[in-house]
Structure 1
């Protein structure tokens, strides 16, 4: 018998069974909707019905068939060394960048390269914290160090191309200090290495402060901000990389490493510029075998086939190769000995260091500088190191150059050195400057006596340890002595002029001389 509305009373098609199947279907649709919503939304309208895959009724638990979305990938956890470097970027580097943008012009343009160099080095530090050590001899090393090197070279090139600019001193501040980023290549004493470049930069920082302390305080603040950046870099290194850049002995392979966080991958770094473009004080950024570029074969002579022993067996029995110079045109006669320009000389003769720029053919001694180096004129990288306390340093006929004497020596003497600057640590006896107009001296340690004779224009920067020194002048004019300002931070000086005028009277048959002009 048929039931109500033609529906049977029993069997799979009865009303109760259909309602149960409908409820199960609705429940599964709700599960699917919830799953899609948690994964980022669910399409609406007709598309929602068409896009929903309804499982077969026979599935006991259809909602379990939909896999949950994978959890988001966690970013690579930064090491303390990387965090410390990021604090350096967010703090002193950001201050320097901000002041550079305010000053604008070449200063701001150079600051962009400085920022790129620091950010690139942060990536290099991150690579080291995550990977085993990459030898400098590795073919991949120039690639990973390349971004730092490129930015560093660009910043220094700003100084080289704009020496006639009114902002030359500011550009030189950065050019002298930024090579401190080469610390990552050192296996020992990276902190002192940065300290040396900071001291070199301070020489020019003081010049900027002297020039703008009254007219433009923003320039003074900018100069101090860069010095502070190098000092904070040194402190960071002494805290995190005391004996050299710390690599991860249990880390990944540096040649295939890719950082987990965006923007910090070192694997995609662009290749460095040709190594031949490196300046002498940037050589630590590349290993010795790589830093010569095409110049590595520059000194080799092309051998004629007639001189090749493997093609001429008869030459093997003798040690001499036949000369082929006979057919060449006669050479021009050399200039007289007194006029011929010779390479500079920096030698240790007994216990005396001699630094000489000479035009004579009679110079003797061992040449310690490269023969291809410029004469000691416009040379900003003359360094005398490995000194001893019983040695003296004698500088003759050097022009428009910068000399750095490291360590404590017995005495230092400059003679006939116009527009020459010297940065020194300490002496046992004295520092003497004679016939050297427009000289500059900066003392980092202690010097008991400063002797100045026949100088027209000069600047002496004293350290706090040298405030008790005696300054003796004779036949000098326009001499200024800068002393650290009491209560101020390091690098802040007060300039005092040395008296030039005297009054002499006769009393009781004797001459009595008094100073007519006093320093403030």
Structure 2
């Protein structure tokens, strides 16, 4: 690349010199003669510079350490320095008002790649101050070193400004969620799904409020959601009823064709005045089920992840009976069949 640049410079000098010669040729005034002389000397300078770079800087300029001059010679001002091309070159220094002195010069640089590596190493040493990875890092005072016993969080410097917005956003979100008003209570019929919705009903006092739902179609369903301290009375025959996420909720209904389901509840009570083929209890702590005479021999219970479940009914003498639904079982593997057999714990033997 440097050879190509050198050739281009020679051609460029000849091009612009010819334009000057064309303008001032055949003129005898001093200015024209000076312009022609300038073109001749410029062409000679560029050609000689090209020959010099071809001999001494074939691959481009190379930075070396140069001659090891004494401090006094450098201060006096160096006029000319000539160095030999041998590895053990010497330099003759002529200073103003002083005798000539001969000093040893450093060997020339072998290639531009070596000079580039030396320059990189010098810059790295200047910027980092050494080869250690910790060089240039800010020293942390003892009172701010978290691993020491005497470190106190209150006396530490404040956290960076970048983390403050995130904490502020988190606190704002927490406050907004806690201050969010509860949804309005609802008791209505949703025609597209044939479902009665009883949602977010809460008693303002310790006494439960009573809500009545009149169902007139066997295809209708009843869905009770997030009600607290209420009593829901459902009249008529309908498809099924679901009690979801309710606390201290009492449900009284006549007849269900498919099932009754209680999910995610606490201290719920359900009374069946008619019949109910299936009763499902899931993830509920405290569920009291009251059976009528018609449904005692019909209702089947399915339970999972629930506790404090009891079934109540009235015996022929008119007294109320109560038995718990087992929560503890004994399981045993049969190696021959590869199946597990389960039995109710002895805690419920006397009542089941």
- Shared topology, TM-score over 0.5? no
Q: Which has the higher contact order (CA 8 A, sep 6+)?
A: 1
Larger radius of gyration: 2
Task: Name whichever structure is richer in strand by fraction.
Answer: 2
What is the TM-score when the length of structure 2 is the normalising length?
Answer: 0.45
